Amino acid sequence: MTRILRGVAISPGVGRGKAVLLAAQVVAVPLKLSQEDVQEEIRRFQQALAQSKKQLKEIRDHLARMLGKGHALILDAQLHLLEDPAIVRTVRDRIASQYINAEWALELVLRELHQKFQAISDTYLQERWSDVRDVIRRVQSNLMGTRHQPVLEPGEAAVLVADELAPSDVIELTRQLQVRGIVLTQASPTSHVAILSRSMGIPAVASIENVLDQVTSGQEVLVDGYDGIVIVAPTPLQVREYEGKRRYFKQHLRLLVEASRGPARTLDGYPVSLMANIEFVEECHRAITYGAEGIGLFRSEYLYLKTPNRLPTEEEHYEVYRRLVELMKPRPVVVRTADLGADKVPGVWRDFHPREPNPALGLRAVRLALKKQEIWEAQLAAMLRAAAHGDLRILVPFVATVEEVVEFLDMLEDVRQRLRRSGATFRPDPPVGIMVEIPSMARLVRHLGDLVQFISIGTNDLIQFMLAVDRDHEGLRYLYKPYNPAFLKTLVEAIEQARTVGLDVTICGEMAWDIPSVPLLVGMGCPTLSMGPQWIPAIRFFIQELRYADVRKLLERALEMRMGMEVEEMLLEWIQRHFPEGIYHPLLRATAAEVSETASAPASDGETYEWERH
């Protein structure tokens, strides 16, 4: 019987195949050892560690060949966890002191670590718990001789169904099977498995409760990775419908990219630059393909988190940034200094970084940089050196005061002097900017004209701090919206102050690709929007259908309103009135005409393509 399941889309695309159910296979039980057996048990543990390292290195190398070295950093982090002396020592000590088997010693360590992670308030770090769990489960599996053993005929298309999957599981299984979709109970759009699925073009849906109880092994499953729909045992009509949808959006994306080449410019000539937010160097090609005019935000945190037991070297930083600017040349590249601290603290730092009652507002980002300058000096030196190869710009996150800006610039000058003494080749004066994501800084922009060259407004955190709302709290999603009049007035004020003192402005949060918000941002006169590469064609096409004079009046109306709900309703009504047949109607007519000839054609089993739209 056909069943429709609804969840959260975490990787776009449409795919179908036979369900492969992946239930948890590790069940550790305590076994008491004699004193004579302890050394043999420690040897068995060390052997399983070595086997786990070998497996992860093979998976990492395969991923590097397939998607590039940047994505392989996900597995580097797990490899470093296997070598964490604290974990290894604790397991050995438990075996020796409690006379228990290695599987149970690992289970006790896992439970202790789980309690510590549950106390962490930082969402990013909470999601990294999956790395710790996956590594320990892998060692346990090797001790017990159990790993995923899916059984399908060679060449058959598969849809992976599980409560949760680790990135290493995804990579291993894609080497064994033709994976055409992933369905999970637990995963978020920012999780490693979601990032990996998007990079590999595998449609994925998460947040489906008790999914293993709702699907039978071998059943045909259709995954709609845009709308978050999973169809179990689809009818022939549903298969044809989704094959048409897959073809439709594949063609739509192609036409959208072709139609939106060149700069984004409104019908009355107002220009808006569109740039890309990325995390890995390998994403540069995608950014260029989708028409990015530069990299508006390169997140550098992974260089630190992938090696939790040591700091990345200046050369490691330099190689990444040099490749980045050379690939994007002559386009600009904005590299954000590491937004670390709070609970996002690599192990090597914990000796000097105390636990904090409210880490999101604690010692993090620029605050930590100024307190422990030696940690950031290697990164800053590498940035200055890489700037000699292209247009690299330095972005400083989580700035709350002008004093912090002055102190950071003093630290940067110290790094320049060191490079001069060493005789290194570097650019001494790359543009420097700050993130405006704390309300206090939004009111102080006019005082930055003689200090920095640009500001980047991080709307995600700015909304969170202005409205005192946790952006990841499901029960408060109604508050976490960019339409609150107080927030909009703060944006207008910050942009106008920047224009007055000659600073460039970029919006780099989710608001930059939120369709109802884009007319307001254009009306504010924001010259640059930065977003995930996949959104660029759609936003460019939309902007090219707007008139600056119209959206300026729209903004004036929004600023006069009292409630965010009123603003949101007005924006949706305005879009419906100005685009009654849809924002992309001319494109969609062309797409429909081209697709109609093939929409009824039978689909090849398991055929899937990445399709993306706003």
Q: Active-site positions?
A: 192, 508
**The pair of three-digit structure tokens given for residue 596, joined into one six-digit string:** 């109609």
In one-letter notation, the amino acid at residue 455 is I
Calculate Rg over the CA atoms of the chain: 26
Instruction: Order across the sheet with 157-162: list the strands.
Output: 3-6, 229-232, 220-224, 14-21, 157-162, 178-184, 204-206, 8-11
- The C-alpha atoms of residue 19 and residue 601 are separated, in whole angstroms, by 24
Contact of 531 with 537, CB cutoff 8 Å: no
- The C-alpha atoms of residue 265 and residue 262 are separated, in whole angstroms, by 9
* Helices within 149-300 (DSSP H only): 167-176, 192-200, 236-259, 284-289
- The C-alpha atoms of residue 476 and residue 467 are separated, in whole angstroms, by 11
- The C-alpha atoms of residue 224 and residue 604 are separated, in whole angstroms, by 17
239-278 exposure pattern, b = at least 16 Cβ within 10 A, e = fewer: bbebbbbbbbbbbbbebbbeebeeebebeeebebbbbbbb
- Of 413, 37, 435, 14, residue with least CA distance to 230: 14
How is 509-564 classified by DSSP, letter by letter? SGGGG-TTTHHHHHHTT--EEEE-GGGHHHHHHHHTT--HHHHHHHHHHHHT-S-H
**The pair of three-digit structure tokens given for residue 437, joined into one six-digit string:** 């994501």
HSE-CB at 382 with a 13 A cutoff on CA atoms is: 25
HSE-CB at 543 with a 13 A cutoff on CA atoms is: 33
**The pair of three-digit structure tokens given for residue 234, joined into one six-digit string:** 């689809």
**Using CB atoms within 10 A of its CB, is residue 592 exposed (0-12), middle (13-18) or buried (19+)?**
middle
- The C-alpha atoms of residue 488 and residue 585 are separated, in whole angstroms, by 29
- The C-alpha atoms of residue 77 and residue 301 are separated, in whole angstroms, by 12
- The C-alpha atoms of residue 136 and residue 48 are separated, in whole angstroms, by 10
Length of the chain: 614
- Of 390, 401, 439, 433, residue with least CA distance to 530: 433
